[in-house]
A and B are shown apart, each in its own frame.
Chain A
Amino acid sequence: MIKVLKSGFFTTIQDQGRFGYGSFGVPVSGAMDTCASTFANHILGNSMDAAVIEMTMIGAQFQFLSATLIAITGGHMNPKINNKTVPMNEVILVNKNDVLSLGNSVEGFRTYVAVKGGIITKMVLGSRSMLKEVTPSHRINKSDHLPILEQEGIKRIKNAKVKFNSSYLNTNNIEVAKGPEFDRLSEKQKTLLLNESFKVSKYNNRMAYQLLPVVTNTLDAILTAPVLPGTVQLTPSGQLIVLMRDCQTTGGYPRVLQLTEKAINILSQKSTGNNINFTLVDY
């Protein structure tokens, strides 16, 4: 078990999300930055779908009630075990009763803690990703106990260090492809979208990131149609909305751009006021 001493700003359990329930209106969910969460599982030798802890902006504090191996990836929150700084992107041995503390994010916005064997909460609709109205709780709270594999004789594995390229945390370049309604945009709008810089507004969360400034727009709403994480919608009032992992399955705003998987990961490490630029790519 892992005991939650402090919950941080918004901490959840995430895996690769739900597949196969979109036609019931169930969002995909899953780790916002799959690059970081996958790497954490990778260095621990976990399966790709092992559930990890995702923290946003302000880290949490955990006490490990049994020894295990962990890895911390993604944004930098000055991780410490028993008040001693520990490295990111490496396998770390934690002993029984050790306390892992994470502070405010100093680089990036979301940090992941993976545990050997994964967090093993009950699966709901094929996933452990927390989501309101789907899982019993939609976030990790203080005093929660998170179940993990209890293993005897845990030893630090001496394996070759795997280098993690964290440069994506500092890029502003968001790769996009044309969305289904891209061609309805005026030439002026297209030029603006692909050449101007946009700022992440304060309305950013696991469902969507709104961008600033608004774009002059005359496009009407569309007949409600499917959307996916990474879809950029343009509302009639000119608001650009980038849908993220917990987004609805359908929407009625024109879908003008579609972020690549890598671009969703980059954006999920951005916070209010950060700049981004869209670059058009082909699949």
Chain B
Amino acid sequence: MGYKLRFSQYNASSVLVEWPPLIDENILNDVLSFKNKIEKINIKCLVEVVTAYNSLLIIYNFTIDDINNVFKDLKALYLEKSIGLSKGSKVIKIPVCYDADFGEDLMHFSKVKKISKSELIELHTAPLYTVFFLGFLPGFLYLGGLNRALHLNRKTTPNLNIKKGSVAIGGKQTGIYPQDSPGGWHIIGNSPIELFNPNDNPPSFINAGDQVKFYAISKPEYVEIQAEIQNSKFNIETLFVND
């Protein structure tokens, strides 16, 4: 691919690599391919790589001695051909209940945007959302692909407590709150899926580069899935797509 990257030292033990500041799937793939290469040649307990839309932070478990050498090696590694990175992607299907009991802002949302509840559900469940990265809260997914018709500025006064599982829209983004948290997004539903479990390793089964598809469930189905999750009987539907 070959983007013009900016390399800089972030602190005594980490290096920041930046791509052009765009939300773009080609950039995402390039970021993740570079992450993959870095992780392949390093020992896991010595190097950690955190990515976001257009950046990659390499955190070493030691102080960097010669930064120019590190830059030189990283630049050479970036130019190397990536090997063995599967081109297919994983699609994870996430059930969402858009019942008014869960989506406390749904009525207001459809009024402001002048769309019916069923249109809203259709527009929200249609896309394949791309997971750009996880951040903000443990297990919180930054998803790209929200339909323009559903863009709505965040609330001016945030909610002090948005319930775990809440599916919400804020600005051009949509997401799921993996735990109770304050937040300024409009809540349109709730998912019974556990996005983050600190007792699992890895603690999240969704990674940057995966794709997410929502599907609507009724309230009784929500209760049923929730019970199945508690008994570890629920299997999240995952599709593997080769493109």
Interface, chain A (partner B; CB < 8 A): 19-27, 124-125, 133-135, 177, 180, 222-226, 228, 230, 248-250, 258, 260-261, 283
Contact = CB atoms under 8 A, between A and B. Distances in A.
Query: At the interface, is chain A mostly helix, strand, loop or mixed?
Result: loop
B59 A24 contact: no
Interface residues of B, number: 47
Interface stretch (B98-106, B107-115, B202-210): B202-210
A222 B23 CA distance: 12
A133 B14 contact: no
A180 B55 CA distance: 11
20 contacts: A23-B48, A23-B49, A24-B138, A25-B140, A26-B203, A133-B178, A133-B179, A177-B11, A224-B53, A224-B142, A226-B55, A226-B56, A228-B11, A228-B14, A250-B52, A258-B11, A260-B12, A261-B11, A261-B12, A283-B9
B136 A23 contact: no
Contacts of A260: 11-12
A23 B196 CA distance: 12
Contacts of B178: 133
Contacts of B21: 222-223
A261 B198 CA distance: 27
Nearest to A229: B11
Interface string B41-55: 000110011111111
Given A24-B204, A225-B55, A248-B137, 15 more contacts: A19-B45, A21-B203, A23-B48, A23-B49, A23-B51, A25-B196, A26-B138, A133-B137, A133-B198, A223-B52, A225-B54, A226-B52, A228-B11, A228-B59, A283-B11
Contacts of B133: 23, 250
Q: Which 6 A-B pairs rank lowest in CB-CB distance, beginning with the nearest?
A: A250-B135, A226-B57, A22-B50, A25-B134, A25-B138, A134-B198
Contacts of A23: 48-51, 133-134, 207-208
Nearest to B181: A133
B53 A225 contact: yes
Contacts of B23: 223
B10 interface: yes
Nearest to A264: B11
Interface of B: 8-12, 14, 16, 18, 21-23, 44-45, 48-57, 59, 61, 64, 67, 133-140, 142, 178-179, 196, 198-199, 201-204, 207-208
Nearest to B164: A133
Contacts of B59: 19, 22, 228
A180 B44 contact: no
A20 B44 contact: yes
Contacts of B179: 133
B142 to A, nearest CB: 7
A124 B198 contact: yes
Contacts of B54: 223, 225
Contacts of B208: 23
Given A20-B44, A258-B11, A224 B52 contact: yes
Nearest to B173: A224
Nearest to A179: B10
A194 B179 CA distance: 39
Interface centre among B12, B18, B23, B61 (most CB of A within 10 A): B12
A19 B137 CA distance: 16
Nearest to B35: A23
A65 B196 CA distance: 36
Given A125-B201, A283-B67, A25 B11 contact: no
A243 to B, nearest CB: 12
Contacts of B9: 177, 283
B139 A25 contact: yes
A53 to B, nearest CB: 21
A125 B202 CA distance: 9
Given A20-B44, A125-B198, A133-B198, A226 B11 contact: no
